Structure 1
Amino acid sequence: MTGMRIRAAFAAMVMVSAAASAQQAPVVEEQSIDGLRAQLAHGTSSVAITQAYLARIAAMDRTGPTLRAVIATNPDALEQAKASDARRKAGKPLGPLDGIPVLIKDNIETKDPIATTAGSLALKDNVTRRDAPVVAALRKQGAVILGKTNLSEWANIRSTHSISGWSAVGGLVRNPYALDRTSCGSSSGSGAAVAASFAAVAIGTETDGSVVCPSSMNGLVGLKPTLGMVSRSRVVPISHSQDTPGPMARSVRDAALLFNAMVGVDPEDAATRDSRTHLHDFAAPLATASLSGVRVAVLRPDMSDVLKAKYEASLAVLKAQGAVLVDVETPKLDGIGEAELLVLQTELKADLDTYLATTPAAVKTRTLDQVIAFDTANAASEMPFFEQETFVAAAKTRGLRDPEYLGARAKSLRLAGAEGIDALLAKAQATLIVAPTYGMPWLSDTVYGDNFNGPSASELPAISGYPHLTVPMGLVRGVPVGLSFIATRWGDQTVLNAGYVFEQAAKARVAPGYLATNDAGPGLAGAR
């Protein structure tokens, strides 16, 4: 009996010690939402988890590897975590994300005491004290708003010669896999931050490629949803025809869990009106997802031999899971790029002027023209590397009733949708399209700007408003590449299911190594 008491006492001491250890040092590196929830269920506090993420950001974002992924941490984050702990203690959690820290791209408003800058010094005083509906939805589930992530300034629309991931406010985001490589954009900070475990998940935004490109190049899962699934209100805009927030995560399940909290009808955003009948739990079906007998249209764009080999290996994974692969060729869609550009420029002027008019009085740039003037007056800080020719062109557009604009929107929508994605699916009698998301991350270059040196799958789903998911294929020459899943309108569950099946079979994601460069080595030195 005495021995039993001793063993019981020892077991109790071990449990207390384990609980204390969990309180002192929660595990946040490479942790999923489910992993964090398990820690919360076993006594770790949200305060401790939030502190661990803040400590990791402090150690790695402006020091250490100096990722520059976070523009600002939230002074209220620990109070939000404390409130979550109180709810949990009372047995009244608000939802699956209660106590989970989330990072928000800094073109999305939060009511916390931090500015929403879009990376521009012109908006350094844009402390709106209001939540975008997508952020309000996260708070409704109890999520902790950890901070705001860096981005390509003005979501990469200011210039065609920009450096993805650079903003005057935040500096240049660095890729956690190779610090001299791009993190792509414009959701660069969200991509680098989640890859570096500054949070389990983050919200990005996309107009054309701005969720899927940084997700692909930072080894993440990223979902560009069907346009209208997620509200765009109180998000610094480019284009009401193409803008949407989207979840970014290290796994498909985490992306789906975050997506669940983001979706919903917003009376202020007419595009969300039709989403009501498509709202459900996007994470639950993943457990039973299958590709058996699913016909998949396969695109084979021009790409390097090393990327092609990785892509072919990924296609073999899909085939092994029962997918029926059907090769298709993208039809010639002459003029789609020019039409999209006119749409973006026209809507940028109209939509940004409307947004800026709602900002606090402390913000002195109230129109696109005033932003252009601000950049010119502050060229040393705002334009050290590239200009603002796209802003200037947008300022000259003739408004949303301009027949040329209306024709361009109709043309781009038809080419991307009916004659693009829908035609490809019909030709292959398929429900999905797969393609490499982008090429490999290029060297960050302050002289020549971005160098998109490979395929890109973002254009058609971005213009049509159809869903687009990227999932890691693994590393090519030390840097990440992604596999895209594209479906027709409202096919968000379809792409999530397919991405999940691939992810679970391929297990391709590799954690970052924070290498200074992946170009160094004996091969560069030659034989002498």
Structure 2
Amino acid sequence: MDRRNFLSVAGTAAAGTMLTPAEVVAAPGAPATPPPIAPFAFEEATVADLTRRMRAGTLTSRALTAAYLARIAAIDAAGPRLRSVIEVNPDALAIAAERDRERRAGTIRGPLHGIPVLVKDNLDTADRMQTTAGSLSLVGKPALRDATVVTKLRDAGAVLLGKTNLSEWANFRSTRSTSGWSGRGGQTRHPYVTDRNPCGSSSGTGTAISANLAVLGIGTETDGSIICPSSICGLVGLKPTVGLVSRAGIIPISATQDTAGPMTRTVADAALLLQVIRGSDPRDPVTANATGQVDDYLAALRPQALEGARIGVARNMAGFHPAVDAAFDRAVDVLRAAGATVIDPCNVPTVGKYDADELTVLLYEFKDGLNAYLASRGDSVMYRTLDELIAYNTANAGTEMPWFAQELFEQAQAKGALTDAAYTEALARCRTLSRTEGLDALFRDHRLDAVVAPSNGPSWPIDWVNGDRYSGGNSSVAAVAGYPSLTVPMAFVSELPLGLSFIGTAYTEARLLGLGYAFEQKTKARRAPRLLRTIA
């Protein structure tokens, strides 16, 4: 069960102002086709394409960065007002110009040299941008130190273009939340049909990268926050094994489930981005084994990678929408035709059995982790504990809680220490059910390379009164286990994208990327969004 389901069970972009409902939902009878938007020279561009042009001297990083900034101004801050970018980097053009000077001098920092990247607004950046998780409570001084992922991006030569909007506090504040809404950033819209929800919590990254506002994006996931917005926005999204990518400097929910990961338009770009951000980090002890798991993810990208692969079809992770089931059947046929041995059905036996325990674990870990994170920010934040944030939200309910409250904050605050038996026993059950009796047993018994399932149902209309009307998905089995999952564009229902998830066991990212690449090359299901106002 995805986090959006168990939440219901549990009962500036520039200006920083809220949108009214009329700004979010198209008026009755409004035309579905948007007004013309100027063609974008870099639509669907890949890192390889842009790097070749910069090497050849026909493109500069500064010109590329300026083009993306202009597109953000035209369709994110104005026009359709996607509100996916919560803040642009005031130093982006200067950084890009420096990358151009370095290139002319023969210095290439790494594989992302001069490439504009957007990161979610829960990753610390020690520059002139804020790190707020979308909450007005953290607006003030910038973070004291870059998140390790941000450091790795800079070291690889990337141009940090800006921060993306998100479901506030990574969608861990209320059981009735609307994905993509934050007090600071307002409501992120779906890039294909703008009265629909982009899912979350990495909503801004999903919309921005799909709408070609940057080349690459970083999202974070606890349960569904990379996979859901990636699939619903027509992207490739990779949730890595917990411990492959450092969480240092990322506003936390869960020490046992959190990870950052790539959100891109192609599998090749996801593989390259993972290559850059992976690795051990003394600031995050969970990554101690990451260095020993080094793979050449790009080398795994073979069009024939499905030949001889053993793929399990998790039929008990489908069945939530007839059009999705039909698309899933066609995807399974593609896998079979590409040479895979398909075990159908191959159901994950423990799906849904850990939902209540997962929520218990997250509540305990959120309180512990958030208090530690706020303490690490020193005087760059005004509020140092979860209890103080609860009080802030209550005092500022008009801006922070106009649509939904903070039940999860309050439930987390009521929890004790991580030594409580309620926590340790819930965590042990999660590990047993998701790993030992779940994916580990299934992969061993059927000698699998991956399990596949539909990533998502079609996107739903934005509804601030009732919250998300989540239409189905399959992030939890990998999220609770801490194992990798990859979503790749699979099909469309009308104008709404669907994804196919490839799920593996620990540190099998290279294999999943290879399988996903082969599927992508066979189907070419991704298409650029048209920014429709509604579905007629």
Q: TM-score, normalised by structure 2?
A: 0.90
Q: Quick one: structure 1 residues 381 and 100, their matched pair in 2 at CA, closer, same or farther if it must change by over 3 Å?
A: same
Q: Deviations over 1:183-209 (max 9, x none)?
A: 000000000000010111100000000
1-structure distance, mates of 2:339, 2:366: 44
Report if aligned partners of 1:474, 1:510 keep a CA contact under 8 Å in 2: no
Report if aligned partners of 1:26, 1:39 keep a CA contact under 8 Å in 2: no
Equivalent residue for 1:187? 202
Report if aligned partners of 2:275, 2:296 keep a CA contact under 8 Å in 1: yes
Q: Quick one: structure 1 residues 125 and 360, their matched pair in 2 at CA, closer, same or farther if it must change by over 3 Å?
A: farther
The percent identity for this pair of structures is 49
Q: Does residue 33 of the first structure (1) align with residue 47 of the second (2)?
A: yes
How far the C-alpha of 1:432 sits from its partner, in A, is 0.6
Q: Does residue 177 of the first structure (1) align with residue 192 of the second (2)?
A: yes
From the CA coordinates, give the structure whose radius of gyration is larger: 1
Alignment of 1:256-335 (within 5 A): 256-287=271-302, 290-300=305-315, 301-326=318-343, 327-332=345-350, 335=353
Q: Deviations over 1:322-380 (max 9, x none)?
A: 01111212314564011000000000000000000111414211000000000000000
Match of 2:377 among 356, 359, 362: 359
Q: Does residue 98 of the first structure (1) align with residue 116 of the second (2)?
A: no
How far the C-alpha of 1:218 sits from its partner, in A, is 0.3
Alignment of 1:336-485 (within 5 A): 336-454=354-472, 456-485=473-502
Q: Deviations over 1:377-422 (max 9, x none)?
A: 0000000110000100000001110011000001011111111111
Q: Does residue 144 of the first structure (1) align with residue 159 of the second (2)?
A: yes
2:305 counterpart letter in structure 1? S
2:283 counterpart letter in structure 1? E
How far the C-alpha of 1:48 sits from its partner, in A, is 0.4
How far the C-alpha of 1:280 sits from its partner, in A, is 2.9
2-structure distance, mates of 1:260, 1:112: 24
Equivalent residue for 1:62? 77
1-structure distance, mates of 2:299, 2:105: 27
Report if aligned partners of 1:105, 1:150 keep a CA contact under 8 Å in 2: yes
Equivalent residue for 2:505? 488
Equivalent residue for 1:208? 223
Unaligned runs of 5+ in 2: 1-38
Bigger mean CA deviation after superposition, 293-302 or 166-175: 293-302
SS in 1 for 2:302: helix
SS in 1 for 2:230: helix
1-structure distance, mates of 2:292, 2:492: 39
1-structure distance, mates of 2:530, 2:422: 49
Aligned residues: 494
Q: Quick one: structure 1 residues 457 and 26, their matched pair in 2 at CA, closer, same or farther if it must change by over 3 Å?
A: closer
Alignment of 1:39-50 (within 5 A): 39-43=53-57, 44-50=59-65
1-structure distance, mates of 2:95, 2:378: 25
2:414 counterpart letter in structure 1? K
SS in 2 for 1:80: helix
How far the C-alpha of 1:126 sits from its partner, in A, is 4.3
Equivalent residue for 2:122? 107
1:371 counterpart letter in structure 2? L
RMSD, matched Cα: 1.3
SS in 2 for 1:112: coil
How far the C-alpha of 1:125 sits from its partner, in A, is 1.2
Report if aligned partners of 1:97, 1:143 keep a CA contact under 8 Å in 2: yes
SS in 1 for 2:511: helix
Report if aligned partners of 1:203, 1:247 keep a CA contact under 8 Å in 2: yes
1:502 counterpart letter in structure 2? F
Q: Deviations over 1:26-74 (max 9, x none)?
A: 9322111111112212221100000000000000112111100000000
Q: Quick one: structure 1 residues 309 and 335, their matched pair in 2 at CA, closer, same or farther if it must change by over 3 Å?
A: closer
1-structure distance, mates of 2:54, 2:269: 16
Bigger mean CA deviation after superposition, 168-177 or 332-341: 332-341
Equivalent residue for 1:497? 514
How far the C-alpha of 1:511 sits from its partner, in A, is 1.1
Of structures 1 and 2, the one scoring higher in RCO (CA 8 A, sep 6+) is 2
SS in 2 for 1:469: strand
2-structure distance, mates of 1:283, 1:105: 24
How far the C-alpha of 1:287 sits from its partner, in A, is 3.4
